[in-house]
């Protein structure tokens, strides 16, 4: 097991992650359709700590997206992993 994901998780846990953010190590998912009053200051705090956000991999997701191997379908409100689908 690599120590880096564990250390990233522990460090980010101390930053009061907003409720709409899901994190796994240094991969994150913000669930929302606009930057809100809680998310923007949190990102600023991360940047002050030296964390660099990769904006070329960032942005808003509308219909379908994949995160950590799970396919999210926002329109039908389902999750798919391998052949299993959860609604």
pLDDT at residue number 2: 60
- Burial string for 61-84 (b: 16+ CB within 10 Å, else e) reads eeeeeeeeeeebeeeeeeebeeee
pLDDT tens, 11-63?
777 888 888 887 777 777 777 777 778 888 888 888 888 877 777 777 666 67
Domain ranges of the chain: 3-86
């Amino acid at each position: 097991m690599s120590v880096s994901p564990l250390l990233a998780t522990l460090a980010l846990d101390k930053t009061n992650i907003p409720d709409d953010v899901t994190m796994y190590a240094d991969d994150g998912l913000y669930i929302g359709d606009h930057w809100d009053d809680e998310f923007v200051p949190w990102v600023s705090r991360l940047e002050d700590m030296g964390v660099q956000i990769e904006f070329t991999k960032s942005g808003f997701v509308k219909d379908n997206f994949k995160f950590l191997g799970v396919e999210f379908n926002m329109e039908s409100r389902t999750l798919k992993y391998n052949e299993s689908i959860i609604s």
